[in-house]
Structure 1
């Protein structure tokens, strides 16, 4: 764990879990370890770390051994622990950069100036050194750690969560009115885009890779599928699989790797880039687990929305449960999207509301997300393949770009509308499907 304590976690049959603990060396008394188990986690908390968790300075997920194993953050899977380090609101970006670089036993990977934070990877064999540097000379229970750090969070993973579907949302009527998204920039933050696909030729304005993959190409297939639901021309199908807003300019932000997953910090960096690059609409067909919106992704959405006016459209999630809307869709200003089938029936997999914690209404809108045929990235096998150029997929990931495309049509018609007005117009004019 981040304190240097070694915990061996075993999940037995029937959900019964056991742990054995090898404490890291301390100066002074030996800590007592408290275990807290539940359906969603198994926390092992050293007594000398407990006050930092209680004050909110340290994220309890850093001590949830069940979640760490699930995220592939156990010792056998990787040699570092990804952590988000936050600083006070008045700290300049260059000071944060120097401070993060100076943290021992770690390497800075991403700067996140919008939320005064940096992502670092703590070397597994030296976690004790990192922890001591941040807690030495501090009083447990206060609101700051050493080096001006105000919060430590787990840099957890996020994952990727048209034929009849496009007419289902009324896009052809908008086309007849002369709307196709021309002049509007939409960012797709996903697994990358196959820029050579005929349906997306000439639509990509810029690409940026935030992953460890060598470039922004789509090696998974999810991002290309999503992008073509928004902006596909249908060129490879004689117009049959045309997207909602085929006239938009696309920003291709690769925040998920070729396995369909990535770190929270990668997505946050992509969000900053997209909003500051002029995207009116940002599509995020991905999620990082159910949230009450008090998480880094939700906070980033709300800050960037207020700063730039961009509308972040995000997938509600595919767990199918009650109060299961995931981050970043859980953010106040995000437009969370659930999925319906071709008969406007809510899909069984679509995450339901309300939002965790305060029971805020989420998701705010639904769109087609079952058996959606759209562009297939070259060399990928996502979903049942429909010919060489197309594939079929289901999920709130597929519903989200339908709404992002509709938002782009509205943004074209109303160039002065910002996020809140676009969101309100979409939700108040949507068909009530119960």
Structure 2
């Protein structure tokens, strides 16, 4: 059972470094980023996610911010610590669903937010003790189940449990079973779970992020400025479906500050927004069908239909996903619908695996040579990201559209 986390990983996991940000972030190769900006702009001409509820499973959300006001549901708190700061969760909600003024990017700005507090922010006084004492797998699972029961169509998981992918490690089956059962429960209620395919440098390579590695989850890898897998934040894996930018982006947040957020939460937010667009227009599509729409429309540098363990089917394409979803909706009800109980492995991408990709989905870990950490059955909490704050600009920059979206994608 998950009862401990490794302290060396906690520093990377959820400690937000609140310092003044560099005002001039590095620029990216703009071709793929500008294409993503155009795809986002076209999708937002069709829908902004209106009518969809996105559950943000994080550190809680400040519901009083003007760009979220009136669209934040009552928060469910599975943490229970005193004096929550709600920093990361608020920034995530602002990115996914904030209806900001320019120059801030707007994704699914018509969606509603369901805050589910499953973690404390790193700066909270009781955070370290809570991490040490809590059964994280159960908390994560409870959060997923609650979000689905409340009717959330999209469930966003920007953090993960890094667990050894081996049936021989103590606690393996129970920990992953709790999360997999929660995902199955969500799928049965037609909720789409979007999660980070997190990689943390010091974690042994046979550790995999969950729930991202659970069948039925849309696992997301983060991209660097060149549009390639960001090795510092995302893991090479056959679980990844699509990828999105993990590079730094400015997001308005609490205390009238702008937070420069980068890493897995940014990538997951892009994909969650694309899912929200699809569910807004085609609410009856199943999670498998939504995954198919994302996969079929993704832009891969090597061409349509290409799959690899670096970026999955490619860079998320919100406009293309809507078009693919329209085709699926016209076909009527699918044959495979999530049921209570185990979700078969081959349902991960929706009704069957993709063509062979020359890599095992999850290598079976051998006991010989395992680090003491793995033998002890310890799972690390991972959420590789950076978060800085700076004063909010006094005057908005003129204009918003595909250009601004592209710059945000590649900044």
TM bucket, shorter chain: 0.5 to 0.7
Of the three residues 314, 318, 324, the one matched with 2:199 is: 318
Per-residue CA deviations over 1:198-243 (Å, capped at 9, x if unaligned) read: 221222022111102247x5x1521112111210111xxx232133
Superposition map of 1:286-325 within 5 A: 286-290=159-163, 292=165, 294=173, 295-319=176-200, 325=208
Look up the match of 2:233.
350
Closer/same/farther in 2, CA of residues 302 and 220 from structure 1, 3 Å limit: closer
1:284 aligns with 2:157: yes
1:221 aligns with 2:82: no
User: For the aligned residues, what is the CA RMSD?
Assistant: 3.2
Counterparts of 2:98 and 2:5 in 1: how far apart (Å)?
Answer: 39
Structure 1 residues without counterparts, runs of 5 or longer: 1-58, 63-67, 73-155, 355-360, 379-387
Q: Which structure has more RCO (C-alpha within 8 Å, separation ≥ 6)?
A: 2
Q: Contact between 2:88 and 2:121, CA under 8 Å: does it hold in 1? A: no
Q: Contact between 2:221 and 2:267, CA under 8 Å: does it hold in 1? A: yes
Of the three residues 70, 79, 99, the one matched with 2:6 is: 70
Look up the match of 2:241.
364
Superposition map of 1:16-31 within 5 A: none
SS at match of 2:183: helix
Superposition map of 1:147-186 within 5 A: 159-160=13-14, 168=36, 170-177=39-46, 179-186=47-54
> Relative to structure 2, which stretch is displaced further, 185-194 or 205-214?
205-214
Q: Contact between 2:183 and 2:193, CA under 8 Å: does it hold in 1? A: no
**TM-score of the aligned structures, taking structure 1 as reference length:** 0.55
Displacement, 1:195?
1.5
Structure that is richer in strand per residue:
1
Per-residue CA deviations over 1:122-181 (Å, capped at 9, x if unaligned) read: xxxxxxxxxxxxxxxxxxxxxxxxxxxxxxxxxx9x95599997973522111122x000
Look up the match of 1:412.
280
**TM-score of the aligned structures, taking structure 2 as reference length:** 0.58
Larger radius of gyration: 1
Look up the match of 1:246.
109
Of the three residues 312, 336, 355, the one matched with 2:219 is: 336
Counterparts of 2:212 and 2:5 in 1: how far apart (Å)?
Answer: 25
Q: Contact between 2:62 and 2:86, CA under 8 Å: does it hold in 1? A: no
SS at match of 1:345: coil
Closer/same/farther in 2, CA of residues 343 and 296 from structure 1, 3 Å limit: same
Closer/same/farther in 2, CA of residues 424 and 305 from structure 1, 3 Å limit: farther
Q: Contact between 1:298 and 1:330, CA under 8 Å: does it hold in 2? A: no
Displacement, 1:350?
2.8
Look up the match of 1:394.
262
SS at match of 1:406: helix
Counterparts of 1:166 and 1:373 in 2: how far apart (Å)?
Answer: 17
